[in-house]
Structure 1
Amino acid sequence: MTGPAPEVAALRVAVRSCLADVPAGSLVLVACSGGADSLALAAATAFVAQRAGLRAGAVVVDHGLQPRSDVVAAGAGRVCRALGLDPVDVVRVEVGAAGGPEAAARDARYAALDAAASRHTAQAVLLGHTLDDQAETVLLGLARGSGARSLAGMPARRGVLRRPLLDVPRTTTRAACEALGLEPWDDPTNGPAGAAAPGAHGPRPPLRSRVRHEVLPVLESVLGPGVRDALARTARQLAEDADALDLAARELLAQAQVQHDGVGAGLAVLDVGVLAGAPAAVRRRALRAALVGAGVPAGALHRSHVLAVDALVTDWHGQGAVALPGGRRAARSCGRLAVGAAEVAPPTEPGRPAASTREQ
């Protein structure tokens, strides 16, 4: 009696490890588009769940952005049911325009997945992102000049979402589908068609597809075939570093906070002396968390804003308040840094008047 193909076995091992902490009898859902990655994940999850005493279902999200997308979504749902997954939800979403088409589609998809998890009381939602997806994410982050948290790529876990295949290359998922007799759907926007040539007519493919089919092959031809593995390895290392820095930043923020209804209540009041003594990487992370906690929209908060607020701590020469997104501002006075609504007065120490332009 022969065992499964090596690629099938590798996926099952990855899913089994990912679900090891999920209590027996719990429901896990697979986000399945019908593509090779998510289809192979669905098959592996169906196999593992049955033997681990878990229930497994699927969520198919129809973004409605391509002709006959409803037909593709319905087909993916049928395949998931044939694999033994239950329940299987096929959900149509409305994709907005905020952040561009890729970001808007992602936001709509994740909202649908969160809703499905809540609706079915699922313990986890599994996503089919592979090592190749992680490498592309890191490369895109490098091109944007992002920091360590962004370069750490996609996390293996965030809330109810889990990514069991981040160490599995895309070639493995395709080989697993072939071994299992599954016919994946190939999203035309993920292909090289139209990646193109200057002056070509029609819409250009998504940026990630161009990185996949144009940029990474060039890097591999110059640097060697291990570029994807190296980028994914970099993500794992940076994730560890970013976790440590984030922990240190949380501890610093707790030490610097001087007002009980501060961070998280729409107003942060912090001790400048405590902040100034911390390493820059930790201090700036703490400041960013304080700004978001005081109501600055995270998506609109850029490094330039954080650096301007940081200058109130480390390069103080009497400068005025820093205007921030969301109608917030940061101001320093009497050794205190306050972040809050624009109309909030600069902070003062107990028993001392506010300074006008310079600390007293």
Structure 2
Amino acid sequence: MGPHPAVAAIRLAVRRVLHDVLNRHCAQARTEPPLVLVACSGGADSMALASALAFEAPRLGVRAGGVTVDHGLQAGSDLRAAEVVLRLRSLHLDPAEAVAVRVGKEGGPEAAARDARYAALDAAAERHGAAAVLLGHTRDDQAETVLLGLARGSGTRSLSGMAATTGHLGRYRRPFLGVDRQTARTACLIQSLPVWDDPHNTDPAYTRSRLRHEGLPALEKALGKGVVEALARTAQLSRDDADALDSWAADAERTIRGAEGTLDVAGLFALPPAVRRRVLRRAVIDAGAPAGSLFARHIEEVDRLITAWRGQGALNLPGRVGVRRQGGRLVIRQG
């Protein structure tokens, strides 16, 4: 008799990712077994992920370890981090460690915590020479991310949600994007894995928490079941479209880029709007604008220098980047 369906689902998801990691590892002609780390908060999603990694890795000749990040945002967070390390070690994950970080304030509490967490995970991966770091984002998390992108009105790329593979050299992997949150929790229950429910996940002060406990249930009540699956499917379709448009924009940019920091206005005007705005965004970021501070309204203002030119003055964008039209060129420079 095989494992419970929930346990089978999480193991299959991790097995597929480990096969890909192994294939890339072998393609680099490396002889030592690759190390894969799991980022584990102690919650149901990441504990299920840790258990699946602990089961599948030795069967494929992969070394498996775990890292938990102590954000220091709650009393006793250091003790909880130590407990998570003990749970990881009980699964025979090695190395298993806790990393304390200091969370800043830039971009709001959620963004600041995320930045600190990824910096710590990057450092851990470098320190241990890990081939990949597994993240426990589920299909429900993907649906929430799509809705947040829709609320920002940031376009197709925001609607594409989280990618299955991201980071330097594809370091971060998200095996559970096709697995719902309840399946992960059930897998923990079946395996008698203790889990910790972060009170921040139910705190209405956080946007994602409100969306999770109020927004999505309201949508499902109004539209019926299947909203989460539909949003996750939208993410994949949007990602395919965004990837194709980004590739088109990269090719177009090479033909219209002139001297450093300039673009040909006539060449830009001839492009479809979706491609032109991508070229403009890339150019502004290349000039020094922080991607996280650059919004659709900024790019729309730059676009009007091309499509609705009436002698407007220079634009001042985040990162002290200035954009002005000079003759037949668009000049984008940091001042």
Q: Indicate the TM-score class for this superposition, using the shorter chain for normalisation.
A: over 0.9
Contact 1:329 1:341 in 2 (8 A): yes
Amino acid of the residue matched to residue 42 of structure 2? Answer: G
Q: Look up the match of 1:271.
A: 264
- Aligned partner of 2:127 in structure 1 is 119
Decide which of 121, 126, 132 is 2:140's aligned counterpart.
132
Amino acid in structure 2 at the alignment position of 1:13:
L
Question: What letter is aligned with 2:14?
Answer: V
Q: Which amino acid aligns with 2:289?
A: V
| Cα distance per residue 1:142-195 (max 9 Å; x no partner) | 22222111111111111211101001001110111111111111112223xxx6
Q: Secondary structure in 2 aligned to 1:97? A: coil
Query: For 2:182, which of 161, 171, 181 is the aligned residue?
Result: 171
Asked whether 1:182 is paired with 2:193, we answer yes
Runs of 4+ that moved beyond 6 A: none
- Superposition deviation, residue 341 in structure 1: 2.7
Counterpart amino acid of residue 326 in structure 1: G
Counterpart among 148, 156, 159 of residue 156 in structure 2: 148
Whether the 8 Å contact between 1:190 and 1:205 is mirrored in structure 2 is no
2:37 aligned residue: 29
Q: Which string of whole-angstrom CA distances, capped at 9 and with x for unpartnered residues, describes residues 47-80 of structure 1?
A: 1111111111111001111111111111111111
Bigger mean CA deviation after superposition, 293-302 or 249-258: 293-302
Distance 1:206 1:304 in 2: 24
Q: Residue 287 of structure 1 contacts residue 306 of structure 1 at CA under 8 Å; is this kept in 2?
A: yes
One-letter amino acid of the structure 2 residue matched with residue 9 of structure 1:
A
CA distance in 2 between counterparts of 1:3 and 1:157 reads 29
Shift of 1:101: 1.0
- AA in 2 matched with 1:163: R
Query: SS in structure 2 opposite 1:37?
Result: helix
Residue 10 of structure 1 aligns with an amino acid whose one-letter code is: A
- Answering whether residue 241 of structure 2 is matched by residue 241 of structure 1, we say yes
Verify the 8 A CA contact 1:127 1:164 in the aligned structure 2: yes
The one-letter code matched in structure 2 to 1:336 is R
Deviation track 1:284-318 (CA, whole Å, cap 9, x = no partner) reads 01100000001122222222221222122222233
Name 1:346's counterpart in structure 2. none
1:211 aligns with 2:200: no
**TM-score, scaled to structure 2:** 0.93
CA contact (8 A) 1:327 1:341 kept: yes
Structure 2 residue aligned with 1:68, among 63, 66, 76? 76
Q: Distance in 1 between matches of 2:160 and 2:4?
A: 31
Instruction: Give the Å deviation of 1:279.
Output: 0.1
| 2:311 partner SS | coil
- For 2:244, the aligned partner's letter is A
- Among 308, 325, 330, which residue is 1:332 paired with? 325
TM-score (norm 1): 0.87
- 1:3 aligned partner: 2
Matched position secondary structure for 2:118: helix
The reply to whether residue 290 of structure 1 matches residue 310 of structure 2 is: no
SS at match of 1:98: coil
Unmatched segments (≥5 aa) in structure 1? 196-203, 263-267, 343-360
* SS of equivalent residue, structure 2 residue 304: helix
SS at match of 2:331: strand
Q: Closer, same or farther in 2 for the Cα pair 1:215/1:304, shift >3 Å?
A: closer
From 306, 310, 316, the equivalent of 2:299 is 306
- Comparing 32-41 with 141-150, which one deviates more in the overlay? 141-150
**In structure 2, what is the Cα distance between the partners aligned to 1:89 and 1:130?**
23
**1:99 and 2:140 aligned:** no
Letter of the 1:252 partner, please give it. Answer: A
Residue 91 (structure 2) aligns with? 83
Q: Is the 8 A contact 1:63 1:69 kept in 2?
A: yes
Distance 2:140 2:293 in 1: 29
1:93 Cα deviation (Å)? 0.6
Answer yes or no: is the 8 Å Cα contact 2:159–2:235 preserved in 1.
yes
Retained in 1: the 8 A contact 2:160–2:239? yes
Identity %: 58
Residue type matched to 1:257 in 2? R
Query: Structure 1: how far apart are the matches of 2:2 and 2:150?
Result: 41
Q: Offset of 1:337 from its aligned partner?
A: 1.3
Question: 1: CA distance between counterparts of 2:161 and 2:247?
Answer: 18
Letter in 2 for 1:136: E
* Distance across 2 between alignment mates of 1:18 and 1:150: 24
Aligned partners of 2:326 and 2:208: how far apart in 1? 46
The CA distance in 2 between the partners of 1:188 and 1:273, in whole Å, is: 54
The 1-side partners of 2:166 and 2:145 are apart by 16
